[in-house]
Structure formats: structure tokens, C-alpha cells
Structure 1
């Protein structure tokens, strides 16, 4: 994702930091930073866990028969993105195709809180197969289920493919707003000046 956006020089995330920030919260999913992982398989997913045994209040969305057989997929990083979780059947061949990261948000202009979609990413070889729509639909459905009033996110002004995707969904694109971030050395310097 950082490479896609040309932000590799500021990328500092590690597997440990992701684990600590996304998966070890005592809050239930969607009440703190939450990652949804899009996994695909050429075979139907085996249901090896009873849904009542899950430790979260989010029930995995399993869609079988998405007709992946009819698509010509060439994944040069297939083994790199092989899922570490393959259920009880290690021959299941499950692969990570994308992800979305969300967290709760609030905007003083609206009556209800919402979800802020921080990242949505589908690996290049899986784009154009409706997986982005599937990920976004999972987030929108969860926000609706929780009685929230919005899902909001940012999109780079150069990313016309994504802008078109969002506008076709009915999203409001507001070009007058720009993202501002204070990070790294500048954050530390400013923090010291304001003491």
C-alpha cells in the first residue's frame, strides 16, 4: 500500500506493530482499529469453526462460487501471500488478495458516528474482479448494522481509477479538502515548541 501511494520512505510499520495495534485490543471489532482481510481460494472455504465459538462479534463473510475458475489470474506472489491460516485442512490453499482497515469516527456535522476507512487495498492481480466492491460492502454493511450514519475516507487526487469507483457507488467526492498530517521529526519539533 505504501509503495502504491509512493510513501515507502515514511513506511515504518512492522508485523509486531500491526499485531499490537489491530489485533490485541480489548474492544470488540469496529470499536477500535479493525482490519478485514480478503482471502480467496480456488476451492470452497471449509467451515471448520462453529460461528458461536468465534471470539468476536463479527461473523466472517464467506462467499463461495464467485467463479474464480473463469477468471485468468496470474499471481506472481502467490506463495508470498499464502494465508497462514488455512483452517484444519492445510491443503485448502487460501491466499490474501486484499485488506481494509477501519476505525470509529465522529464528525460534528452529523448526528451519528461512523466508520473511517483508513485503507482499502486489493492486490493488482485481483483488481477489476469486484473484490474492492466486496470489501467496501462489508464495511458499509457493518456501519449500517451498528446504526452509524456514515463511512468516510480519503482518496488521492491522482487516483482517477479509485475516484471513478467511488463515484459509481454514489459517494460524494469533495475536491476542496486536503489531507494534512504532522508526523516524524516535524511532529516532535512542533510538540517541543508548544510546551
Structure 2
């Protein structure tokens, strides 16, 4: 993929038919994050969750020169402390060839406008502890590390056992 560093980036909401491109970027992100075999999503599962009757997950795509080169996948959460919803950015990905073109910033600016239009008090996301380049970028746009909070997760057999009571 050849992109021009000065070409304008276009950000748009994902729409039915984008599932293959979304999955391609999710897989590329998993490879970058050193978890190439972790992706269980499929085009049908993405279609169901993003474009089903009551979607709870949303995505915006970045296009450069007519090619999809970036993804921001997000959903809403809620903060009892702020008394307002929050936008949670699950995945942000920009293809290697599009880095340095403003694509990441354009995706985040679009999400910030989305958050404000939905009455969100904040945007949240997680960053891998070794991803210094991403941390530097986030600091540059004014984000900060939430000190004192650790991500926790329950999945697989433990989730099944807890659900079983």
C-alpha cells in the first residue's frame, strides 16, 4: 500500500460490508500486540455485533486514497462518579503505511466529537505496558495514564464457573 503523507484522511462510521476490512485490521493489531492467535472474531460475528438489531459496539474507519487504513472500535460505558456515559476505545489501529499521516489523531478527534455528542464525560482505553510509542502519542494529544487502576478480567472456564453460580 502506498499512501501520500499529505493526502487527506477521511473518517467515516463503519457500515455493513466493512467486516472483512475490520477483521483484517483486528488481526493486524493482534499481530502487532504479539498475540497473533488470540483473534476469535469472524466476519459474521462482527456483522452481528456492529450492525445487528441493537448494536452495542461501534467503529469508525479511516480512508486514505480510497483505501481503509485505520480503525477505531468503541462502545459506551458509564461512570457513576461523573454521572455520565464514557466512550471506551477498545481498539485503535493504523496501518504501517499510514502512520505519520495524521490518521490516528483524526480517528481520535472523531471519537472525541462522538463522545461529546453523546454526553460522555470522558474517553478511556488501555495501552500495553511496552508500547512506548503509543503512550508518547497519547500524551501528545493530552491524554494521561490513570494511576492506581489496574485492568482485571475473567474469562473462559472461570467465567463459566462464576455464571453457573
Superposed, 1:41-190 pairs within 5 Å as: 41=65, 94-190=66-162
Aligned residues: 137
CA distance in 2, matches of 1:142, 1:162: 22
Change (3 A) 1:138 1:184: same
How far residue 8 of structure 1 moved from its aligned partner, in angstroms, is: 2.5
Q: Give me the TM-score of the superposition, normalised by structure 2.
A: 0.76
Change (3 A) 1:121 1:4: same
CA distance in 1, matches of 2:87, 2:96: 25
Paired position in structure 1 for 2:47:
19
Query: Where does structure 1 differ by over 4 angstroms across 4 or more consecutive aligned residues?
Result: none
CA distance in 2, matches of 1:151, 1:166: 12
Instruction: Judging by fraction of residues, say which structure has more helix.
Output: 2
Which one has more relative contact order, counting CA pairs under 8 Å at least 6 apart?
2
Structure 2: gaps spanning 5 or more residues? 1-28
Alignment root-mean-square deviation, CA: 1.6
Instruction: Judging by fraction of residues, say which structure has more strand.
Output: 2
2:62 aligned with 1:38, yes or no?
A: yes
Structure 1: gaps spanning 5 or more residues? 42-93
Higher Rg of the two aligned structures: 1
How far residue 175 of structure 1 moved from its aligned partner, in angstroms, is: 4.3
CA distance in 1, matches of 2:78, 2:97: 35
How far residue 181 of structure 1 moved from its aligned partner, in angstroms, is: 1.7
CA distance in 2, matches of 1:112, 1:191: 28
